[in-house]
């Protein structure tokens, strides 16, 4: 009888022991990260087995791609922790992150010299191919500016160069040049500089979802002067 009770107790304890000895989930791999807080945007982060990590992305406040590199570890309590240096808008910022790694997701917070952020990450997936010619109508106040844009893939996965232009009824021809970052489920981040026939420069940051199969895709955002802008795109 005693042997039976001991065997039963051992069976009851063994799952707990196995759970206690189980390794913490690892972040190794590439993740698509949604940023919110002091800034908003999308980034792709790669955690390496040697405990280094690198990332690139676009945000509402970046004038183009930002990049960062840092180191990570899993603490004794099983939490993800790390520190990094980021290059953004021609300058550098430093920050630290703390988060939780679970199966198929990472979430946490960031404290940096340019603000506080939260993030949610999911494993990198294939994104749609945006390469090719697109037509669009940009709406700035009451103005409607038709244009033609060409998207060309860059050397980085999910990143495209956008070039194009059109005709404005008030300032003549204009050109644009910028960067597009594609995310899962059609998510798109776009930042672009513009130049009109009079040499006046502008900057816009937009976001939304895009599908080449849709007749119209709308991205919304703001110009550098704070004015709202949206663009309807069709391929």
Q: What is the CATH number of the domain that holds 136?
A: 2.40.128.120
Are both 176 and 204 inside the same structural domain? yes
Are both 116 and 145 inside the same structural domain? no
Are both 155 and 186 inside the same structural domain? yes
Q: Is residue 174 domain-resident?
A: yes
- Note the pLDDT tens digit of each residue in 152-175: 999 999 999 999 998 877 777 889
Q: How confident is the model at residue 199 (pLDDT cuts 50, 70, 90)?
A: low
Are both 185 and 230 inside the same structural domain? yes
- Note the pLDDT tens digit of each residue in 131-149: 999 999 988 888 888 999 9
Domain that holds residue 83: 27-123
Average pLDDT over residues 32-59: 97
Are both 146 and 226 inside the same structural domain? yes
**Tell me, what's the pLDDT at 156?**
97
Are both 201 and 180 inside the same structural domain? yes
Are both 98 and 152 inside the same structural domain? no
- Note the pLDDT tens digit of each residue in 101-130: 998 999 999 999 999 999 999 999 999 999
Are both 162 and 72 inside the same structural domain? no
Q: SS3 for the chain, per residue?
A: CHHHHHHHHHHHHHHHHHHHHCCCCCCCEEEEEEEEECCCEEEEEEECCCCEEEEEEEECCCCCCEEEEEEEEECCCCCEEEEEEEEECCEEEEEEEEEEEECCEEEEEEEECCEEEEEEEEECCCCCCCCEEEEEEEEECCEEEEEEEEEEECCCCCEEEEEEEEEECCCEEEEEEEEEEECHHHEEEEEEEEEECCCCEEEEEEEEECCCCCCCEEEEEEECCCCEEEEEEEC
Q: Is residue 8 domain-resident?
A: no
Lowest-confidence pick of 48-52, 56-60, 66-70, 210-214: 210-214
Domain total of the chain: 2
pTM: 0.87
């Amino acid at each position: 009888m005693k042997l039976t009770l001991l065997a039963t107790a051992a069976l009851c304890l063994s799952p707990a022991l196995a759970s206690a000895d189980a390794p913490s989930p690892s972040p190794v791999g590439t993740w698509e990260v949604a940023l919110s807080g002091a800034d908003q945007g999308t980034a792709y982060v790669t955690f390496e087995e040697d405990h280094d990590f690198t990332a690139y992305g676009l945000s509402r406040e970046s004038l183009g791609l930002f990049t960062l590199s840092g180191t990570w570890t899993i603490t004794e309590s099983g939490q993800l922790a790390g520190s990094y240096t980021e290059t953004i808008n021609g300058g550098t910022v430093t920050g630290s992150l703390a988060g939780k790694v679970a199966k198929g997701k990472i979430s946490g917070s960031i404290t940096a010299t340019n603000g506080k952020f939260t993030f949610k990450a999911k494993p990198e997936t294939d994104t749609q191919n945006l390469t090719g010619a697109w037509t669009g109508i940009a709406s700035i106040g009451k103005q409607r500016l038709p244009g033609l844009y060409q998207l060309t893939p860059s050397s980085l996965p999910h990143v495209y160069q956008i070039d194009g232009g059109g005709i404005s009824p008030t300032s003549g021809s204009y050109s644009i040049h910028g960067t597009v970052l594609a995310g899962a489920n059609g998510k798109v981040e776009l930042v672009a500089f513009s130049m009109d026939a009079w040499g006046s420069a502008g900057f816009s940051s937009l976001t939304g979802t895009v599908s080449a199969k849709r007749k119209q895709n709308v991205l919304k955002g703001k110009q550098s002067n704070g004015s709202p802008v949206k663009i309807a795109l069709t391929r």
